[in-house]
Amino acid sequence: MNRNEFLQKLGQVKFWRTRGQRAPHKPLLVLLALGRIARKEERLARYEQDIERPLTDLLERFGPPRKAIHPEYPFSRLPKDGLWEIPGKESLPATGQGDLHRSGLIKHSVTGGFPEPIYELLLSDSELVQQAAQALLYEHFPYSLHDDIRTAAGFPTEFLVQEPPGLPYGLVVPRAPARPRDRNFRHAVLRAYECRCAACGFDLRLEDELLGLEAAHIKWHSAGGPSKVPNGLALCSIHHKTLDRGALGLAPVAGGFKVLISAKVQGESDATRWFWDCHNAPLRRPRSSEFKPKAEFVKWHTREVFRDPPQDSSSSDTN
Ligand SMILES: [Zn+2]
């Protein structure tokens, strides 16, 4: 197994995707396993002690809002992609589709991890660990969340990179973002909103340079959202981050949209009140109606990202 063979395999992992639903289960399990390697931990992780809680936590925080979370699915499905090994898998009780039961994983103290050649390769090449993590993050999440996910997956601080938006250096996973971001996106979105945050009006400048104002995708670029103004919003850094993380949502009102703050958001200081005050406030309208957010992108964000209210679970969306 060499670098390219590994990256090829990673690029061929089958992710369940339909109707724009997010399927971050396998990527988050692989990221968790890469985090273990970055910490030089042993190859096989125990499902109950090492995987279930941290993977549930990652899925709750960075997966789509769902009532039921099934960390056992990616754990038992990843071996088919050649990236995971579960010693003794054949003798474990499974469903008709070949999924291992959570109770069996726990009862038999099942372990899992990268196959030996992949583990050895990654252990000797931390740059490859970083590259694989970056490829998965770019394929499944907006960059504003990348370091949060790395941290939650247990990567040591030297792996945090504060990436700029756009294609990461050295990315060679075949399926990773084929569509480079539209370079004009930021400029066009900021212009459409007259260089103010669409949620709070923030427009700080140092001389002529805008500070802390960004162009956000409503439907994530990684989920196929286009880099076009009707899928964009000019937002200050805080509103951009909270939109991507699902703390801030949008809802249609007559003639436009309003801002929603998730009921799960907390914070008590006077300074934070400013954030709460945006709840139910009208979203600033762009300077022309052709730039208005498209309802389908807002619906996607409400269903796949916004943390409130939780959506009905669907067992089929857990790749
Ligand atoms: Zn703002």
* Residue 319 domain flag: no
Of 127, 143, 175, the position where a domain reaches its end is 175
Q: How far is the CA of 203 from the centre of ligand 1 (A)?
A: 9
Res 268: pLDDT: 86
* Per-residue pLDDT tens over the stretch 230-252: 999 999 999 999 999 999 999 99
User: Which DSSP letter does residue 296 get?
Assistant: H
Of 175, 204, 223, the position where a domain reaches its end is 175
* Per-residue pLDDT tens over the stretch 156-196: 988 887 555 554 444 444 444 445 556 699 999 999 999 99
Q: How far is the CA of 24 from the centre of ligand 1 (A)?
A: 28
* Confidence label for 136 from pLDDT (cuts 50, 70 and 90): very high
Residues 169 and 48 in one domain: yes
Q: How far is the CA of 138 from the centre of ligand 1 (A)?
A: 25
Average pLDDT over residues 19-24: 84
Q: How far is the CA of 147 from the centre of ligand 1 (A)?
A: 21
Res 163: pLDDT: 56
Mean of the per-residue pLDDT values of the chain: 89
Higher pLDDT, 222 or 283: 283
What is the distance between the alpha carbons of residues 248 and 262, in angstroms, rounded to a whole number?
6
Of 122, 154, 175, the position where a domain reaches its end is 175
Average pLDDT over residues 253-270: 92
Measured CA to CA in angstroms, residue 152 lies from 55, 57, 192 at distances of 9, 8, 35
* Residue 198 domain flag: yes
Average pLDDT over residues 37-53: 97
* Residue 180 domain flag: no
> Is beta strand 111-112 parallel, antiparallel or unpaired with respect to 205-206?
unpaired
Measured CA to CA in angstroms, residue 50 lies from 73, 74, 87, 137 at distances of 15, 14, 16, 21
Residues 37 and 162 in one domain: yes
Beta-bridge partner residues of 94: 100
* Per-residue pLDDT tens over the stretch 60-94: 999 999 889 999 999 999 999 999 999 999 899 88
Print the domain residue range for 36: 3-175
Residues 64 and 199 in one domain: no
* Confidence label for 313 from pLDDT (cuts 50, 70 and 90): very low
What is the distance between the alpha carbons of residues 258 and 251, in angstroms, rounded to a whole number?
5
Residues with CB in 5 Å of ion ligand 1: 197, 199-200, 202, 236, 239
Q: What is the pTM of this model?
A: 0.86
* Residue 35 domain flag: yes
Q: How far is the CA of 300 from the centre of ligand 1 (A)?
A: 21
Q: Is 14 helix (H, G, I), strand (E, B) or coil?
A: coil
* Per-residue pLDDT tens over the stretch 90-126: 899 888 888 899 999 999 999 999 999 999 999 999 9
Res 180: pLDDT: 53
Res 302: pLDDT: 96
Average pLDDT over residues 289-293: 97
Q: How far is the CA of 187 from the centre of ligand 1 (A)?
A: 17
Q: How far is the CA of 199 from the centre of ligand 1 (A)?
A: 5
Q: How far is the CA of 285 from the centre of ligand 1 (A)?
A: 14
